Amino acid sequence: MIWYFLYPFRGTTEPPRLSPAHPLRRSFTKYGREASRHPVITILISVALATCLLYPFPFLYTNNFTNGSSNLPHHVWTAAQPVQENIATEPDVVMRSVWVHGSYMKALGRDVLLAGLEIQDALLGQTIDFNPKLSAGLGKSVDHDAPLSLEMRDSFHAINGLSEQSWFFHSPLLYWSCSPDAIAEDDDIVSTINESSRRSTSVNVTLRHSIVFSGKRFEDQRLVAADALVITLVHKLDSPVGRQWERQAQALAQSSTKPWRMYPRDGRVNNSQVYEFKFQPLSLQDDILLAIAYSTTVIYFLLSLTKLRALKSRFGLMLTVVAQTVISIMGSFTICAILKIDLSKIPREVYPLVVMAVGLENMFRLVNAVIITPSQSKTSRRIAEALGHIGPIALAGVGQDLLILYLLSKVVAPGVAAFCIFAAVALIFDFVLLLTFFVAVLSVDVRRTELSDSLETVKSQRKKLGAAKPKSRNAWVQAVLSGKTPISTRIAGTIVMICSVLVLQGHFFDNESPLRTLSRAFQFVSPDHTLPSPTPATRLSVDINQARSPTAWLRMQDHETAREVIHVIKPDAHSCVARVYDPLVFVLESSDRTPTNAGVRRFLPAAYDFARNQSTIFVVSVLIVVAAVSLLMNYLLWNEEDTGQDDDGTTHKEDPLMAVTTLTPGHDLDVVMLSASPDGVIVSVGLDRRIRVWDLRQNDRSHYISPTTNELNPFPILSIAIDEQAEWVALLSVTGRLMLWNINEKQWGPSGIIGTEARAPPLFSFKSPKPGAIASLLLVWTSGSLIEVNFHLESANQIVELHPWDGVISSAKQFVVKPTIADAEPTLHIVVLTTKGFIHLASQVDNKWESTTIPLFTPNNSQKAKAILPLPKLSLLLAITDTTASLIHIPTHQILHTFPDLDARPSSLQCFHSSKRRAFCGHTGLTSFSLAYNSRSSGSPVLRTYSPAQDGDLICTTPSQTSANPPCSSWTSADLAIHRVPHDGPWQALPCGAIVGVTKRRAQRQSPPDDNVSASGLRRRGVGASRAQNSEETDGWEAWTVSARGERHSVDLGREGDAGGRGQQLFVTRCETVARVGRRSVAVGFGNMVKVVMVGNERFEGEEGAEEVVLAMVGRRKKVGGRAEGGRG
């Protein structure tokens, strides 16, 4: 709204867009970047704040106003407000009171109670065992100034029938039936007072502590001290009891033998103020207005959600909005209770409205700002840019609303002023939660692609709209209704807030119209109008340091007291008007009225009780909630935090994309063999006849595998394998000896002779050990023999040799298929390929191997299979020829799809894909499937990525079957993107959804344009570093990566970790040895050194939950990447 008022000066109603260098925008941008990088920490901070605000709520609010807690709002309007003297209002009753003080905060002393009883009896007549029902029917007309007998006095009591002479009174002395003997004999006066707090008078008015004591002090929800006894007389205008009260007060003032001081000295109380007491339930009109307001807000919220193209995030966004609104409202109630701000004057249904209206405005601003950010930007940059733009505007809007609420609180009724304070606190909390809770959830949402999936759609639609027809004349109206114009998003919340306050104000002035309320508010702030001073407190000739002023005491009366009093005076009404006289104050002689620390405390008594009794439980509860939410977040975001990836495998990790670490010390001569495990263990073999083991989980700690005797000398080595637990390393020598090395204990384990062939076995890997064995291995020789070796510590090794296949084996792969039935054991399979193109599948069932042939190609077919890749998580198998790759459904042996025109070197092909999901057809499907291989013609890598043609669809991975459900996308209808990268050298596919390789930099090749950011959130390490010095960096070698979407990044291969080993680095002319480590790392044999190239952060936690990455052969690959070509699969 402020921008509309500034229109004459600025010439526009658009909020200013601060420059990126502005300190305020820079601060919001920096905070948004850090919050999105650490969403879990930010969410935990907001959860801790929310717990601190919500936990005390039940301890601070109650429906019992006698225990020091704040009173909960109900479904009624309540008020005790003064009526302007210029308004001709005839009071219904007169209220007179006596305040009896002893020493400061010592009104519960026996002497004060006895003195108060004496004063009460002097003013009203004897009240011991007061029971006015005994005098029913004795009332008759009396002279104006004639004294009243006790019977006549009691006959006029309201319990005997309401008339113009009726009266009743409240007194704390009724706790003892106004008996001096009962007071004198009471050994525990404080307990009696607390136990009698629900006692009622004869007219069913509860003797709450709030109406019979002033200056109360509560501890542990019990009244422990008070500053004054309050005796209140309520009578009709023509009641003789009221006239007798006045006469007797003057008589007490003239007495010189009484042990008290009296104010006023003459006993005449002339100052009075007309008050209106209200207890009005919600009317039908109120219900309709609230229903319309909430319905409009909900409809606006739902329509705004439908405008967001982040379909997957709508439910989560709805929960976030509801949670933030609830926390803001409940937190505001908690703070208002601690500050002793009475919110019970207004129905509880009103409070959430303003918070919802203003809060939704800021939330949708931020969401829309994130959506329109460039899709190439990474998550942290999108959030930072959006918050940098929206943050200052939202801050200005909150500041504007706070100023408006402050001004309104000065001109409205006290109950509405309390509402303004509540709304101000709620807006502050909502803004804080917007910067913490909502920003963190939104960053997680973007990272999980529930919003980012829609960005490309928005971008493409924006291009289509560029050639749209001119808008018609009613386009503005449609835009307002759809929530797209500034008026519906920038000032709607402020308008709702102002209108709410004006409507509330009208309820406290006989339901006057909002227009009348607004005009009267402008009269208050007009220059020629003097603001009325608040109702003055009683001014005594001598300051007696009252702990609570009479005006404050009157306004703090709860709505239940008002309801009961109104019911006595006007049984069928919801309000009454009373002329309230200033109290007649009595102070006992020899009393010390010096204020002490035992007085009324600054904050709510229940808050002190909570801090004293619940602080330990409160702190423990906050810690438990934060810990529980932390565990929940780690569980829910485990995959995102571990991989930071999309469904298509693109990386979104916010840390630097690529990092290179050199493992030192290296070998003396070149590294010729590498093997690695997903748990971060690397084994390297050099020409110096040394074997070194590195454990990346333990800060790259390493050790040598040293042969102790000639018998245990493994050189020359044919093959290396590491088990799944990274506990054993298996070495196969050309002599036929198979040896085990214990990584943890750094010593040799069992060994055995199994025979050998001239070539390395197509399959050499560990399997799950049999019972009693410490390790089990599988070998497949090219001759077609299968050997299973089980090593034992206490007994002889078991070697089983089978011949399940005929022909020469060119390739063999081992894989495990997880069972689909609960409690079933995983099944071990071996798929082999012969040189004639036959594909055999062997399965181990009950410790026996059963082999079947997959009838894909015949020997006479020129397009015979040259390589195989099992995809166990999809139950698929890739059979690769010179020009095609066929997807075979393993259970049925059916060809699911054939990829034509690959131009691939079959042994170089690798594959990675997204996690499988349930498709529309009822089977499983994928959102992304990528093939990577070296081109036969150029030798450079090629990356082909298949994705559904429609957003939100899946590519079915099951053979076509009759289904009642709608069919999902097929492979033939899938979109194809081809990326080529002109790099030489080895490369490897990673489960994080990218391929990584190393290459020697071409001197003539120019540095690519700045591609630090990408749609997938990948970013480049060392942004802005000059590449002019690259020719001097590690002989001009670099590591590079290409994502499934084609984003490319590179880093100098010697940039990091060379400090400890650069002087030992040999000159490198070729690099051929690469092994995958974990989910996002590769180990490279670089001359005599081993370098680890990481894409993002690596945790080395095995393959569980990883996207599937399969390789056609253990070896070195080259890479693809620069250009993208589109097409159909």
Q: How many residues are listed for the chain in this entry? A: 1129
Could you tell me if 869 and 833 lie in one domain? yes
At residue 1032, does pLDDT exceed 60? no
828-832: average pLDDT: 87
d(CA 33, CA 435): 11
Max Cα distance, the chain (Å): 135
Is 1038 a member of any domain? Answer: yes
- The reply to whether 596 and 673 lie within a common domain is no
Q: Mean per-residue pLDDT for 141-162?
A: 80
What pLDDT is recorded for position 116? 92
Looking at residue 688, its pLDDT comes to 82
165 in a structural domain: yes
pLDDT tens for residues 953-964?
778 877 765 555
How far apart, in whole angstroms, are the C-alpha atoms of residue 715 and residue 701?
A: 24
Give the residue numbers spanning the domain of 732: 658-959+966-1096+1106-1128
pLDDT of residue 545: 60
Collapsing DSSP to helix, strand or coil, 536 comes out as coil
Please indicate, yes or no, whether residues 689 and 583 belong to a single structural domain of this protein. Answer: no
Between 131 and 551, residue with greater pLDDT: 131
What's the average model confidence in pLDDT over 212-240? 88
Q: 491-500, 676-685, 722-731, 914-923: lowest mean pLDDT where? A: 491-500
Range with the poorest average pLDDT among 302-306, 355-359, 513-517 = 513-517
* Together in a domain, 318 and 421: yes
| 645 is a domain residue | no
* Residues 333 and 199 placed together within one structural domain of the fold: no
Report the C-alpha dihedral over residues 899, 901, 902, 904, rounded to 10 degrees. Answer: 130
Same domain, 81 and 62: no
Residue 1009 exposure: Cα atoms within 13 Å on the Cβ side? 4
Burial letters 643-680, b for 16+ CB under 10 A, else e: bbbbbbbbbbbbebbbbbbbbbebbeebbebbbbbbbb
Contacts with 474 (C-beta within 8 Å, 6 or more apart), sequence order: none
Q: Kindly indicate the confidence band of residue 258, based on its pLDDT and cuts at 50, 70 and 90.
A: confident
One domain, residues 808 and 830 = yes
User: Does some domain include residue 615?
Assistant: no
Least confident of 58-67, 695-704, 780-789: 58-67
Using 50, 70 and 90 to split pLDDT, how confident is the model at 505?
low
Given the structure tokens 């996002």, which residue do they identify? Answer: 1080
Residue 231 pLDDT more than 90? yes
State yes or no: pLDDT of 1069 exceeds 50. Answer: yes
| Residue 1023 reports pLDDT greater than 60 | no
Residue 640 falls inside a structural domain: no
For residues 256 and 404, state if they share a domain: no
- Shared-domain flag, residues 327 and 271: no
SS3 readout for 657-711: CEEEEEECCCCCCCEEEEEECCCCEEEEEECCCCEEEEEHHHCCEEEEECCCCCC
Categorize the per-residue pLDDT at 307 as very low, low, confident or very high, splitting at 50, 70 and 90.
Answer: low
Which phi and psi (to 5°) does residue 682 adopt? -125, 135
Q: What is the pLDDT of residue 949?
A: 78
The segment with the largest mean pLDDT, out of 410-414, 570-574, 1118-1122, is: 570-574
pTM > 0.95: no
Q: Please state, rounded to an integer, the average pLDDT across all residues of the chain.
A: 75
pLDDT at 463 (0 to 100): 44
pLDDT of 843 reads 86
884 within a domain of the structure (yes/no)? yes
Rg of the chain taking only CA atoms, in angstroms: 42
Q: With 60 as the cut, is the pLDDT of residue 823 above it?
A: no
pLDDT tens digits, one per residue of 776-799: 888 888 888 888 888 877 666 777
533 is a domain residue: no
- What average pLDDT does this structure show over 484-508? 56
819 in the same domain as 702: yes
Last residue of a domain, one of 466, 485, 516: 466
Q: What is the CATH number of the domain that holds 446?
A: 1.20.1640
Name the more confident of 545 and 761: 761
Q: Which CATH number covers residue 791?
A: 2.130.10.10
* Residue 863 reports pLDDT greater than 80: no
Q: How many domains does the chain have?
A: 3
Q: How confident is the model at residue 1015 (pLDDT cuts 50, 70, 90)?
A: very low
How many whole angstroms separate alpha carbon 490 and alpha carbon 483? 10
The per-residue pLDDT for 653 is: 43
Over residues 547-551, the mean pLDDT reads 63
964-978 pLDDT, tens digit each: 555 567 788 888 888
Question: Which pLDDT belongs to residue 734?
Answer: 84
Residue 640 in this model has a pLDDT that exceeds 80:
no
Residue 1040 lies inside a defined structural domain of this protein: yes
**Geometric angle at alpha carbon 1094, from 1090 and 1096, rounded to 5°:** 165
pLDDT of amino acid 795: 65
Which three-class secondary structure state does DSSP give residue 507?
helix
Identify the residue with better confidence: 676 or 1097.
676
Give the pLDDT score at 65.
52
Q: How confident is the model at residue 496 (pLDDT cuts 50, 70, 90)?
A: low
Domain boundary among 433, 466, 499: 466
Q: How confident is the model at residue 1105 (pLDDT cuts 50, 70, 90)?
A: very low
Distance CA 330, CA 429 (A): 10
Of the residues 419, 440, 466, which one is the last residue of a structural domain? 466
Q: Do 59 and 23 sit in the same domain of this protein?
A: yes
Confidence of residue 385 (pLDDT cuts 50, 70, 90): confident
Residues 593 and 705 in one domain: no
* Nearest-angstrom CA–CA distance, 109 and 101: 10
Three-state secondary structure readout of 985-1037 = CCEEEECCCEEEEEEECCCCCCCCCCCCCCCCCCCCCCCCCCCCCHHHCHHHE
